[in-house]
Structure 1
Amino acid sequence: MNQVLKRSEVAKEHRWKVEDLFASQKQWDAEYEEVKSLLKQVGQFEGKLKDANAVKACFKLDDDISLHTERLYVYANMKHHEDMADATYQALSEKSKKLSVEVGEATSFITPEILALSDEELKAMVVNPELSEYKKTLEDMLRQKPHILSKAEEALMAQVGNLSSAPSTIFGMINNADMKFPKVKNEQGEEVELTHGRYIQFLESPKREVREAAFKAMYATYAKQKNTLASTLNANVTKNLFYSKARKYPSALEATLYGDNIPVSVYTNLIATIHESLPLLHRYMELRKKLLKVDELHMYDLFAPLVEEYKMDITFEDAKKTVMESVKPLGEKYREILKDGFTNGWIDVYENEGKRSGAYSWGAYGTHPYVLLNHKDNLNSMFTLTHEMGHAIHSYLSDANQNYRDAQYTIFLAEVASTLNEALLMDYMLKKSTDPKEKMYLLTYYADQFRTTVFRQTMFAEFEKIVHEKAEAGESLTHQDLSKIYYDLNKQYHGNAMVVDQDIEMEWARIPHFYNSFYVFKYATGFSAATSFSKQILDEGQPAVDRYLGFLKSGGSDFSIEILKRAGVDMSSPEPIRQAMSVFQGLIEEMEKLVQ
């Protein structure tokens, strides 16, 4: 697959079957008109949501509209992603987005109106058998009620919404549009302009001087904007404090976690358990130093390849076979669904002209999931395949076992199924590998996932926590304060084997996730939960498999923490993180053996 094909040239078996969603444009148009007419009926409920019958009828209509809109939106955007230059589907995508906004506006009265009922009336609705399929929705409304304001205050909060996106928008402009980086020398000694995209490539260079030059140039550029960037991050923290106070939450952290009903202890427990596991990261840093054969390990050595690039040519057909073998521990039912996905048009496989980059799993309730890939014949693409199919099977099973409202799982749970598949694939490949070079390549690939997804994201999460607590205590957050907090965390996390270069103190200034506050910890908890599941499945067999499949079938029918707990992973305890750390320890021990 050397030359990039036009969409029309892609073989049928390598395309997803969007016709399973809508057989024709005519069908799409008819469903679009149906939504438009259903929207006209919504208004009849306004001011009347006072009893169970009215609420039930309104929710039913709301679900009906929502499901049709989702189908229209998914189809239009998937067609657009097949070839982004195709004007027909650009227009259809815009049309579906406008419809979604229209639906949002038309149904926006529902929640505030139900919340205007007294606590007694709401509690009566929660236990009313007539409303049993909406029990979770109503329970959640009751839970959120203390944090909902009066109608006038809510209107005011809605107007503040545009202001609240300003810090993120300004950061995006500085970071992506205005920030200009100097030229640095690449491996061939040519002067090349440093960009965000090239930075990681430079850091992965086997040549140390290339890595060092890129690293120093990157942070020197951010240091020139330190006052502006500190003010921008400060503004974002101030915004979070405003919302948490206005909505009567004890802290910004609690306000953010409340939506998913995640106790603060899950966040603090992650940080505490990773702290107790830092000696493992320090040991990995020692090993890195040894493998790179350097006197001093620097921050710019963190992404340097530890072993020579081990070329693994894996065709799509081979990748499917390997993935199919690797999920054997999950049982035949799981493999049947996977086979269905492989053979019945779930996946859009190869790159073509104008196709959206990257990979995702998506779909609409009532139809099988879809997976977009841009498959290359390498190890990374095979891991992407099993990752996205993990998401797809999670959606497939939750859709098959839950009603529309309860099928949608939260972001907190989303990465578990995909990462578990990756863990099983890695376990399978390590057990099968006989070549020490291949084994070392796989071990470093996996160990670095622990470093970047668990340790690094937890360090980010801890930085956010410290910064918000300081602001809540009325302390200043100058660029000096932010840099000191960040530098000290790097020293603590990386240990004595690492020379923590002063330049790294500016890294806080380039992390876009800090504008989506208290989000990054979900990467670490998701990875830990998945690693814990994989360990239980490989150690215990069937009982653990049954619990895990129960988790996949639960969708969003309960709060995330409870769904995981029932399946045997209690994220409010240190246990899953400790189980993940024992896997990481095993990797380090295997690597140490190969190095001797």
Structure 2
Amino acid sequence: MAKGVLERKDIPQEDTWDLESMFSDTEAWENECKRVEKLAEEFPKHLGSFTKDANSLLKALEDRDNIYRAISNIYSYAHMKLDVDTTNSQSQSLNDKATSLYVKVEEKTSFLVPELLKLREEDIERFLEDNETLKLYDQHLKNIMRQKDHVLSAREESILAQMGEVGGSPEKIYSMLNDADLKFPTIKDEKGKDVEITQGNFIPLMESKNRRVRKDAFKSLYKVYKSFENTFAATLNGDLKNNIFNSRIRNYNSTREASLNQNNIPLSVYDNLIKSVHENLDSMYKYMNIRKRALELDELHMYDLYTPIVDEVDFNIPYKEGVELIKRALSPLGEEYLEGMNEGFNSRWIDIYENRGKRSGAYSGGSYDSKPFILLNYHDTLDNVFTVAHEMGHSMHSYFTRKNQPFIYGNYSIFVAEVASTANEALLLDYMIKNVKDKNEKLYLINHYLESFRTTVFRQTMFAEFEMIINEYLEKGGALTAEYLCKTYKELNKLYYGPDVIIDEEIAIEWARIPHFYYNFYVFQYATGFSAAISLSQQILENREKAVEKYLGFLKSGSSDYPINVLKIAGVDMTTVEPVNNAMKLFSKLVDELDKLI
């Protein structure tokens, strides 16, 4: 690729994704919008009649699915077209129109679930017996009826919906304060130049080889947070109280139960994660001791945790070389997987390179009927190769799900969403560690792997435990003061990082800069997903009986069953401690290997 950022028109077609396979041109897209709008306008005709018999129910569900299948094509096309050139006014207009149409579709179909919940379970069973085709919706209907005890009357649901915006105020206030209003001081960088600390450059500053830079950034940032600690405590308190109100009014025993019930996740999954990580903290303590020795420090502080302990290794990997590396690394997944992946690399699933106006970062997207598209901004770095492997994991999950499931089950739960992507990264890392010749490169890769464990399993589990503690405290009538939050958070850092790390006073306020505490028991899924992926990749590498077959079965399952059951198909039971313990065993083994090499 030529140096400098290219204009969109200068990117070769073969390096862009094939949106024409969705709609030949804007006129075709506009015509589909008109068709869907008409279908949405007509949909309320089902109100009052669709719960009378099996045939009427089937027709309503099929009509709804046809509308959502079409609007997802419309919306995916529009937002992907905008993402490759956010400066294009026509694309902005398409995206706005698609969003408005999506809102209209949701509004016109919103009566369906409340009306369904007026039925008794025996009514649903009778309908399923009366119409063979309706049985396709068995799991879908069961999932709706499962939550019947937690759904209120139509009037009460309407009041709660109208209160939603008010209930979301604490998070909005937090976001405005954290992202817009907070101003951080200026420090001197490695070269003695002034640099203003921002949310975006804080971690790069913490990765600095210069310890004075790290310390200054750390102390300066958290000094600002400390000066607003009571405001941050109030916003978090307000957000959690809103969740408590909603959980109680919906007849749940706790906010945690209410949150996990959305995907039918047992509380034991959450508890087992924390239990397993606690039982394996010795390996984290050993890793921290190695970090202290490698950095040749008398004291290891919290601001020393992000700086690399291995000198930067220059992996220069052009895109095509990266693709070949990924293919070799993922060969244990077998012929069927590799054929699908080759189709992705050769059939313009991927928008590869950066261009002016293109959205930053990377993602896997598309709709049920489209290719499972991938957006990249590829540069020739090792991190970018891992990004390709990661996003291809998501896209292959989508590819197999859409090929094997009807539209109603053609997606997958957030609980399992990161499994396939992380498994790909694990297989790539394993392959590179086993095949690298240079000692420093091997050290770098092992440390990269260990840091993934530290930040995704240990740190996210610590967040999950903090979230559980403060919710339970509030539910029992406690007051979430800044003092209580800081004390609780600091104690958890002591527990998770161990005796070789000085737990600086400033870290006590770190909870104030973590937006995930407003996501209502979301973060534990990072740790469970990572653990499941590690467990599965190890089974595949060890050639366990039918491991690949089971894994492909998982990728093909979509949401045809609850996420816990779908993972069991793959060979991982997240209701037990085994998957997290297996991941912890690999972490311990890598720590020992690093110890020998360092």
TM over 0.5: yes
Whole-Å separation in 1 of the counterparts to 2:84 and 2:145: 43
Whole-Å separation in 2 of the counterparts to 1:222 and 1:4: 37
TM superposition shift of 1:492: 0.4
Q: Equivalent residue for 1:320?
A: 323
Residue in structure 2 matching 1:183, options 180, 183, 186: 186
Residue in structure 1 matching 2:373, options 366, 370, 388: 370
Q: Equivalent residue for 2:114?
A: 112
Whole-Å separation in 2 of the counterparts to 1:151 and 1:543: 48
**1:411 aligned counterpart, secondary structure:** coil
Instruction: For residues 411-452 of structure 1, give each alpha carbon's deviation from its aligned partner in whole angstroms, at most 9, with x where no partner exists.
Output: 111100000000000000001011001000101111000000
TM superposition shift of 1:123: 3.7
Q: Equivalent residue for 1:5?
A: 6
- Please, what TM-score do these two structures have when normalized by structure 2? 0.98
Whole-Å separation in 1 of the counterparts to 2:545 and 2:204: 43
**2:417 aligned counterpart, secondary structure:** helix
Q: Which moved more, 1:239-248 or 1:23-32?
A: 23-32
Code of the aligned partner of 1:120: E
Q: Equivalent residue for 1:527?
A: 530
**1:184 aligned counterpart, secondary structure:** strand
TM superposition shift of 1:542: 5.5
Listed as ranges, the matches of 1:324-339 within 5 Å are: 324-339=327-342
Listed as ranges, the matches of 1:559-578 within 5 Å are: 559-578=562-581
Q: Equivalent residue for 2:35?
A: 34
Instruction: For residues 30-53 of structure 1, give each alpha carbon's deviation from its aligned partner in whole angstroms, at most 9, with x where no partner exists.
Output: 211110121122121011122211
**2:200 aligned counterpart, secondary structure:** helix
Native 8 Å contact 1:274 1:455 kept in 2 = yes
Listed as ranges, the matches of 1:512-523 within 5 Å are: 512-523=515-526
Whole-Å separation in 1 of the counterparts to 2:327 and 2:21: 24
TM superposition shift of 1:25: 1.4
**2:201 aligned counterpart, secondary structure:** helix
Instruction: For residues 559-582 of structure 1, give each alpha carbon's deviation from its aligned partner in whole angstroms, at most 9, with x where no partner exists.
Output: 000011122100010101011111
Native 8 Å contact 1:126 1:138 kept in 2 = no
TM superposition shift of 1:233: 0.4
Whole-Å separation in 2 of the counterparts to 1:575 and 1:397: 27
Q: Equivalent residue for 1:89?
A: 91
Q: How many residues align?
A: 595
Native 8 Å contact 2:73 2:370 kept in 1 = no
CA shift in 2, pair 1:127/1:527, >3 Å: farther
TM superposition shift of 1:18: 0.5
Native 8 Å contact 1:329 1:541 kept in 2 = no
Whole-Å separation in 2 of the counterparts to 1:239 and 1:371: 37
Native 8 Å contact 1:288 1:306 kept in 2 = yes
Q: Equivalent residue for 1:579?
A: 582
Whole-Å separation in 2 of the counterparts to 1:365 and 1:27: 18
1:452 aligned onto 2:455 = yes
Q: Equivalent residue for 1:144?
A: 147
Native 8 Å contact 2:73 2:369 kept in 1 = no
Q: Equivalent residue for 2:166?
A: 163
Whole-Å separation in 1 of the counterparts to 2:300 and 2:143: 50
Query: Gaps spanning 5+ residues in structure 1: where?
Result: none
Q: Equivalent residue for 2:293?
A: 290
1:46 aligned onto 2:68 = no
**2:147 aligned counterpart, secondary structure:** helix
Code of the aligned partner of 1:231: A
1:21 aligned onto 2:33 = no
TM superposition shift of 1:541: 4.6
Native 8 Å contact 1:265 1:572 kept in 2 = yes
- Please, what TM-score do these two structures have when normalized by structure 1? 0.99
**2:364 aligned counterpart, secondary structure:** strand
1:399 aligned onto 2:402 = yes
**1:137 aligned counterpart, secondary structure:** helix
1:253 aligned onto 2:260 = no
Instruction: For residues 319-343 of structure 1, give each alpha carbon's deviation from its aligned partner in whole angstroms, at most 9, with x where no partner exists.
Output: 0000000001001111111111111
Q: Equivalent residue for 2:102?
A: 100
Q: Equivalent residue for 2:490?
A: 487
Native 8 Å contact 1:338 1:389 kept in 2 = yes
CA shift in 2, pair 1:494/1:127, >3 Å: farther
Native 8 Å contact 1:122 1:142 kept in 2 = no
Code of the aligned partner of 1:321: E
| Aligned-CA RMSD value | 0.9
TM superposition shift of 1:127: 5.1
Native 8 Å contact 1:4 1:351 kept in 2 = yes
Native 8 Å contact 1:52 1:130 kept in 2 = no
Code of the aligned partner of 1:86: N
Poorly superposed stretches of 4+, deviation over 4 Å: none
Native 8 Å contact 1:7 1:83 kept in 2 = yes
Q: Which moved more, 1:586-595 or 1:480-489?
A: 586-595
